[in-house]
Every structure is written in structure tokens, then in C-alpha cells.
Structure 1
């Protein structure tokens, strides 16, 4: 799957959004849970604070402030350095009046920063470092005992409980979200692949049409894709109809032009002695060649607009060689040919027959004893999509010079008037090959004569 494919882009986009949304949601839930645990912890501290204030504010306690230590019903306040402490101390620095839970041992609790605002209940909440560097959650409240002065009542609890609860929740939350992310991404991947499968089918079907394996988009498609398939099939049908009309017009034009030309030439043939008739015959032959050439080009161009035309190479060469052997039987020309199994030409059979037939016919005319035909398939070059078909025709004749090879493909050019033909053969091959995106190259053959190398589009 290519990185720039639609499925990849959709999957990567979905992955980014899923991870982003779950990450933001995870942080939000973690923060909410931490605040919830803190509120529950603070309610517990406030309960101990109110109980402590109630005992400190009782009349008996005010008469004998040093007599006893309030009991809050929590054993952790009795256990030394347990992380749970309370402390009552006078706000007046001149009075050394302070009491504390046994758990504080000989230590004291630090006061919270006065910048922390008091709550509507008159208490201040925050975190401090306690004995043994413990993290403590602290609640403190000043109380006025009248003539006894103002005291600061503080209750602290081990904040490790908050952090432990939060870490455990974060671990469960993270594990759940990781599993959820995997499930969502797998679901997204399945949906992307399943949702884009019809487009993949259309792509494969179009490739089959282009390679000649099919003529239309077949099968049922989802309602969202069905209009695309329907319009594509309509376009293919319209294309075929246009081609058929073009072929009909070309045929009609051929008949319309050839008949008057034949009449003119026949009339001129009856007057051999007349110089004017000779000029008419000369120009008539040129016109006939021109008409034949341009009608052939029009016919070829019309055929090339047909999609999905593929021709097997082996049957064409086999039939062509048998025909040429019969035509040139009296000269004893030997024709050898070879082609890879399954080689296919991306085009119509009659065009292939015309191109290769012209080359083989020329080779047989000029050959002394032997004509060799070799076919190979060239893999796609960088920047190309499809392979190319290379058809090489060699003969052992006299060959052509570089100048003659340049002239040979010109329309109507005949290098030897003793050989039959109109001089259009190689020109037609060049035109046909060019219309298919191919080429014709003439060179010296290893067996002594001329080599004609024809390059045409193949089917992968």
C-alpha cells in the first residue's frame, strides 16, 4: 500500500484523531478523578478538624488547656510518624501554648502559605512536607477562644493515599484506553478497507478493460459507487459508437474517392500516345497513393480509440510466416521465427499484421536465402507503466546504406524500381507504430542484410 494512497491517508488521519481524542479525554478523566479523590480526602480531614475544634472549644478544655489530648477515634494519630497528625498552637508568639497528636512525636507541622485563600468555611487547604519528608494534605483553621486568645488548629493526612489512588486509576485508565485505541484503529482499518473495496474493484476492472480482459465494468456496486460505474460503462459504449461511425465514414470516403480516380486513370490508359494522358496517369498514381495513405491513417486512428484491444503475437507470426513461405516458395527463402510464450500486443490484430507483414515482405523481397524474426518483451523503464514489445526482422540481402535507410521510410519512396510495391510499406509501418506510441528503427543485420526493429506497446 503506497504512502500516498487514499486508504493510507484515511487510516493515518483516523489514527491521529483517535489518539488525540483519547489522550485529551484521558488527561481530563485523570484530572477529574484526582480532584474527586482530593475532595473525599478533604471531607475526611474536615471531619477530624471539626471534631478537634469541638473538643478544644468545650468549657472544660478552656479551663484546663494543658490537661489532655483530644481523642479523634483514629489509631493513626497515636502511631508515631504515621503520616496522620493534628496540631493546636497559639497564634500569639508570646504564648508557648501548643498541643499535638502523639504521631507527631517531637516534630511540628509547618503552616500553609498565607497566600492560599480561605474557603467559605474559613479553612485553608494545601500540601506541605511533613516529618520524614512525607507529602501531607493539610487543612487548618484559626479559632478565637476569647480571653484565651486565638489558636490555629491543623489536621494533616498522608497524601500518599491520594497519589496511590490516582496512579492506580491512571494505570487502569491508560490500559483501557490503549486497548480501546487498538480496537478503534482495527475497526477503522477494516472500515477503510471495506469501504474502499468497491473503488479497488473499479480500478482493477478498468485495468482489465485496458489490458483487453474485459469490455465493461461488471458486478454490483454500492449505491454511492454505482453511478460512477454506470457512467463509465456509458462512456465506453459512447466511445465504441464513435469509433464505429468513424470507420463507416472512412469506408464511405474511400469508396467515394477511389471510384472517380479509377475512372480517370482508366480513361487516361486508353490514350497512351497523348502526353496529357501520361501526365494524368502520373498525377493519378500520386493521388491514389496519397488517398490510400491518408485513408489508412484515418482508419488506424479510428481503431486506436478503441479501449481494451489485445492481440497474441504467436498466432499472427505463425500465419504470416506460412503465407510468406508460399509467396516466396520459388526463391527458396527460409523464414525462422521465435517469440516468448504469451507475448501480447496492445492493439488490433490487423494493425499488427499490417506492420509486421510489411517488414517481413520487404525482408523476403531483398533476402538472398534467409529471413529471421525475433520477438522479445522489454520490461518497463523508469517512468513507464507498461512493457514494450520488440519485433526484430533480419534478412541476409544486400542491406542499405545509412543514406538509403533514411530515405526508405519516406512515403512513396522506392529504392529499387525492379521490386514490386508502391513505396508505402515502411511509411505505413512508421505511421502505425507512431500512433501506438512505438517506433521503427533500421540498422545493419548480423546476418548481413537489413535489420528492421519495431517497438510496440505490450501487455504486462
Structure 2
């Protein structure tokens, strides 16, 4: 059962939310800045159009004198030389060259806007930007006026566009400051939501880890209504797993009982006629069947036990108990059994499985040792292929050892290199199978003293 990595999920959510906040605020800022600039231009254009209409009215008013006299537009900047505010009325039909301009233009001329025949607005004017006499950028509004026989005129009013740019720039500064403060607030809010909103998921993750490590049997505690169904379903899955394992154990026990009795009867009957070649053959095959049944039933029991979630075994008591037992069994040989154990070492699995694996290795070492057996238990460095910490049990003896071919052979079920030694030949095979079911391994190599080294790796806590 995988454990949810809450911190990675929180990090992804935070980065995703932050990226969206930045993108949305940036786009919003661009849109608002553009809207404000257009609003400023429209307000500026209304001002220019007011002056323009006044000038057009002057141009269109018949005068008895050949020289038109233009009244003041009510703006002092039109009288201030090169102030950036200008007006100009120029005759464009070429018959009577005529140009009137504000005093602010001095002796300069306003450049016309580049235009086409169909670029007039609905009000009959053109709008745009031009370079002014003193290098200013001017916002210009111009309108062609056709007075028929009195001539054609182009009326222009220009204002310093710096006013538009400065207002827009000021708005952008305030907008940027506001959005920075808003971004910080949103990021802090997102951090708060991710940290505390995902806290129940982190609690479930920790609770599942406790179940897997054996510190708890079920998920306990109060969870929000959105997470409570997940906790209930997880507990139901754990309970169902235990029930399946218990049923499997019961079935295995029933099968073992059902098979052992008929096999015992067959063996007993065949043993009573051991002189008969047929009886000898039946006895031989029955022994093989009994070994096969014992092997596969043992594997079934092991598979059922391995399926249990959250079982932990303390290593030190098991090793000490096995050492004392082997010293009693081999007391007559004077074997020295040395132990070295890492403090707090624990096996992620059932005690009886650990006893069976390590007991087989120690028993095999004691059978072949000349006088010394050493047991070393440590926490092994995790390899690239291993997803959890591993426990390493190394059993060395000072016996004759095995060649590489013999090491491979003894790991196969029922293989015995010396018939004079007691046993069925299933010991190392069972250890190898059981270790594999737990996700571990068994390796046989040469011990530093020349004997056999058995290196057992198992999941640890």
C-alpha cells in the first residue's frame, strides 16, 4: 500500500497556485493599464476637441475683412511660446496661402498627421501623435473644413502628450504596488490553505505509515467530512486483508491435516512390506510427496503471513534465543557462537518467520563449523533497487565452505551435499523463498576464515 507524499503534493499545489496568481495578476495589470491609458487619451481628446470646435466655428464664420481674427480660446498656454499647446489653421486649396497659428508656436509649424481618405472618425476628425517643435510628443486632433468658395482649411489643435504618459505612469506605479501587495497576500493565503487544508491528508499518510510499521493497527482520530470516507475505506481494507489472511491460514491448516493422514497411512503400509520392490517404490514416492507437500504448505503459510500489514519483530531477543538453543544442542562439540547486533534493529515481518530463516542459517553453520560461528546483525545501506531500509544478518562459520557451484546447488529445494548430516535439504531453500517473499534476499559467499558466509537481507523498520 503506497503512502501519499503530502509534502510533494503541497509543494506542487503551492507552485501551481503561485504561478496562476502571477499570470492572472500580470494579465490583469496589462489590461487595466491599457484601459486607463485609453481613458486618459479620451479625456485629453475631449479637451482638444473643445478647442477644435471653437476654431472651426471661427473659420466658418463669415468675416467682412479679408483677414480672419481668431478669438482667444481661454487657455493661457496657447500664448506661452513653445509651451506644448498649439493651434493652427492652414488653408489647403492653394489659391490664397493663409496660415494662422497660436502665439505659442512662435514661428514654427505643426506637422500634419499621416492620413488616408477614409481614416476620419465619425465626428470628421483625425487623432494621433506627432513630434512637436521642441521635441515634445504632441497629441493632435485635426479636422478638414471645406467652405466652398471661401476655401478649404485644415484646423489643428495639439497638446503636450506628456500629461497622458505621466498619468498612465503614475497609475502603473500605484497598480504595480497594489498588485505586489495583493500577490503577497494571495501567496500567504495559498500557503495557509495548502499547509492547513492538506493537514488531514498528511495525518492519513502518517497513520498509514504507522500501520505499515506496526505502530498502529488501524487509522484512528477525527478527520474532516471530506476525508473521513477515505479513512473508513482504508480501515475496511486493512480489516478485509486480515480476514483474508486468517482464512488462508485456516485453509492451509485444514489442507495440511487432510494430506498428512493419508500419506502417513500409505507410508506405514509400504513400510510393512519393505521387502517388496513395489512397496519400496511406493515408499520412495510417498516420501517425495510428503516433502513436496511440506514445502508448498510452508510457502502458503509464509505467503499468508507476509500479507499481514504492520507486523514488527524485535531482532535481539530472537537472536539471543537461537544462540542459547544452538549452544545447548552442540554443547558436546564446544562451539563458540559470537553475536554482534545493532541496537534497536527490528524486522518488518512476523517473529516465527524470522526465527525460521535465521534459525536455519545458524543451524546449518553449526552443523559444518569446526569450532566457531559468528552472527552479525546490522542495518544495511539501501541500494538503488530497494525502496525501504534493510536489515542485514550475516552468519559465518569456519567449516570447509562450498564452491560456487555447490552454493548454487544447495539453494535449490531438497538438495543435500552430504547425506551423513541430518535434515531434508529444504532448510536453505525455505530461507531463500521466505526472504524473496518479504522482498529480501539470501546470498552465499566465502567467509573471511575460509568457511561459508550466509548473508540475509530483510526489510527493516
User: Under a length normalisation based on structure 1, what TM-score does the superposition of the two structures give?
Assistant: 0.88
Unaligned runs of 5+ in 2: none
Q: Please say if residues 55 and 70 of structure 2, whose CA atoms lie closer than 8 Å, have aligned partners that are also in contact.
A: no
Query: Residue 84 of structure 1 aligns with which residue?
Result: 85
- Identify which of 413, 429, 433 aligns with 1:431: 433
Deviations 1:15-48 (A, max 9, x none): 4443333333322222222222122112212222
* Structure 1 residue 160 corresponds to structure 2 residue 162: yes
Partners of 2:22 and 2:412 in 1: how far apart? 68
Displacement of 1:317 in angstroms is 0.4
* Structure 1 residue 98 corresponds to structure 2 residue 99: yes
Partners of 1:447 and 1:86 in 2: how far apart? 110
Cα distance change, pair 64–356 in 1 and its aligned pair in 2 (3 A):
same
Alignment of 1:382-401 (within 5 A): 382-401=384-403
Query: Residue 111 of structure 1 aligns with which residue?
Result: 112
Unaligned runs of 5+ in 1: none
Q: Please say if residues 137 and 158 of structure 1, whose CA atoms lie closer than 8 Å, have aligned partners that are also in contact.
A: yes
Query: Residue 449 of structure 2 aligns with which residue?
Result: 447
Which stretch of the first structure deviates more once superposed, 408-417 or 150-159? 408-417
Displacement of 1:362 in angstroms is 1.9
Query: Residue 321 of structure 1 aligns with which residue?
Result: 323
Query: Residue 17 of structure 2 aligns with which residue?
Result: 14
Partners of 2:434 and 2:379 in 1: how far apart? 19
Alignment of 1:49-448 (within 5 A): 49-55=52-58, 62-64=63-65, 66=67, 70-115=71-116, 117-143=119-145, 148-266=150-268, 281-448=283-450
Q: Please say if residues 209 and 308 of structure 1, whose CA atoms lie closer than 8 Å, have aligned partners that are also in contact.
A: yes
CA RMSD of aligned residues (A): 2.9
Partners of 2:406 and 2:68 in 1: how far apart? 132
Q: Please say if residues 69 and 100 of structure 1, whose CA atoms lie closer than 8 Å, have aligned partners that are also in contact.
A: no
Query: Residue 37 of structure 1 aligns with which residue?
Result: 40
Displacement of 1:216 in angstroms is 2.1
Cα distance change, pair 427–50 in 1 and its aligned pair in 2 (3 A):
closer
Cα distance change, pair 246–76 in 1 and its aligned pair in 2 (3 A):
same
Partners of 1:146 and 1:263 in 2: how far apart? 134
Displacement of 1:274 in angstroms is 6.3
Cα distance change, pair 338–58 in 1 and its aligned pair in 2 (3 A):
same
User: Under a length normalisation based on structure 2, what TM-score does the superposition of the two structures give?
Assistant: 0.88
Displacement of 1:379 in angstroms is 1.8
Cα distance change, pair 118–249 in 1 and its aligned pair in 2 (3 A):
closer
Displacement of 1:106 in angstroms is 0.9
Displacement of 1:398 in angstroms is 3.1
Displacement of 1:100 in angstroms is 1.9
Matched positions, count: 456
Q: Please say if residues 368 and 400 of structure 2, whose CA atoms lie closer than 8 Å, have aligned partners that are also in contact.
A: yes
Displacement of 1:258 in angstroms is 2.3
Cα distance change, pair 383–353 in 1 and its aligned pair in 2 (3 A):
closer
